[in-house]
Amino acid sequence: MLDLTIAQKTVVTKRISEFLLVSGDGEPLPSYSPGAHIDVMTTAGARSYSLVDWPQDSGNSYRIAVQQEENGDGGSRHMHSLDQGAAISATAPKNDFELIDGTKPVALVAGGIGITPLISMATQMTAQGREFAFHYAGRSADVMAYLDPLRTTFGDRFTPHFDDAKTLNLPALMGGLTNHAVYICGPKGMIDAARDAAENAGIAAGDIHVELFSTGKAESGDRGFEIEVASTGQIIPVAADQTIIEALEAAGLDPLYDCARGDCGICQTAVISGTPDHRDVVLSQTERDSGTVMQICVSRAASDRLVLDL
Ligand code: FES
């Protein structure tokens, strides 16, 4: 874990504040690559925040932007209650959303607070002279972070889209990006729509990269179900407000997982029988329809029991 100090707190929008974090003990901070995040310990548990890197940044600090979620579990409220000088603990940077080297032009497509990792990617590609287009969709200009510095820094490569003026037409956008690698980050609905549009436009699955900006929260109507562990026959109940991972851990198993929000693919598990209720952004529509694989950190069951290859 890293001991960090908030060197500066800046209000970005009514709901978004930026935190500039420096080493709390004077040790150099571990480096990171565009798309990386740190997990910050809050009173509601660990929360992942992407690292924001602008061309002028020096590399001896971390910058994160936190959107306060009114109906969240308190993690973002805790962060917003902290002021300059406060100490926090966080993991070293991890990256589940790497910008892959290549010669293809890149399209960055952000929704809401999902802008943050894409800023770091745009900064790196600017330094490399790599061709990219940067699209940022939000409800209206007043709730979107960093609009002015984005325009100033990335010029005509940057295009904002305001829902209150004209909603971003994802099929039309993706239709013009068929030779691109596409990086999408935002809330689940936006990612699902953007991924569908990209697939329908013929963009290769390997060129579609996503990161989800929310946790796999329970949804109203969620109900309990059972997991059968294929290797042992053990039956494990999963409560309506519990994830499969939580239920497995409560039963003494040690499932592999990382992001816990359905976008890294680490927890992917084969389904032997039963019907998954997919809540991730990892699987393609074809994989979902097959019903043979699922992300057990967020996805649930549409049947009373799932037999998993565990
Ligand atoms: S742990 Fe990342 S998709 Fe499940």
Q: Which ranges constitute the DSSP H helices of the chain? A: 75-81, 115-128, 147-154, 170-175, 188-200, 244-250, 285-290
* 259 CB near ligand 1 (under 6 Å): yes
pLDDT for 209 equals: 93
pLDDT at position 252 over 70: yes
pLDDT bucket at 211, cuts 50 / 70 / 90: confident
pLDDT at position 216 over 70: no
* 257 CB near ligand 1 (under 6 Å): yes
pLDDT for 212 equals: 80
- Distance, CA of 150 to CA of 104 (rounded, Å): 22
19-24: average pLDDT: 96
pLDDT bucket at 262, cuts 50 / 70 / 90: confident
pLDDT for 13 equals: 95
Q: Name the nearest CA neighbour of 106 among 14, 25, 179, 9.
A: 179
pLDDT bucket at 215, cuts 50 / 70 / 90: low
pLDDT bucket at 72, cuts 50 / 70 / 90: low
Q: How many helices (H) and strands (E) does the chain have?
A: 7, 18
Q: Please tell me the least confidently modeled range out of 23-37, 111-125, 276-290.
A: 276-290
pLDDT at position 71 over 70: no
Encode pLDDT of 155-178 as tens digits.
999 999 998 888 899 999 999 999
pLDDT at position 241 over 90: no
87-113: average pLDDT: 94
**96 CA: nearest ligand 1 atom:** 2
On the 0-12 / 13-18 / 19+ scale of CB atoms within 10 A, 1 is: exposed
- Domains defined along the chain, listed by start: 2-90 (2.40.30.10), 106-212 (3.40.50.80), 225-308 (3.10.20.30)
pLDDT for 26 equals: 86
* 265 CB near ligand 1 (under 6 Å): yes
**258 CA: nearest ligand 1 atom:** 1
To test the ligand 1 pocket, which listed residue (210, 258, 283, 300) has its Cβ within 8 A of the most ligand atoms?
258
Encode pLDDT of 218-235 as tens digits.
566 789 999 999 999 999
The residue that leads in pLDDT, 47 or 29, is 29
* 281 CB near ligand 1 (under 6 Å): no
- Distance, CA of 106 to CA of 310 (rounded, Å): 38
Average pLDDT of every residue of the chain: 92
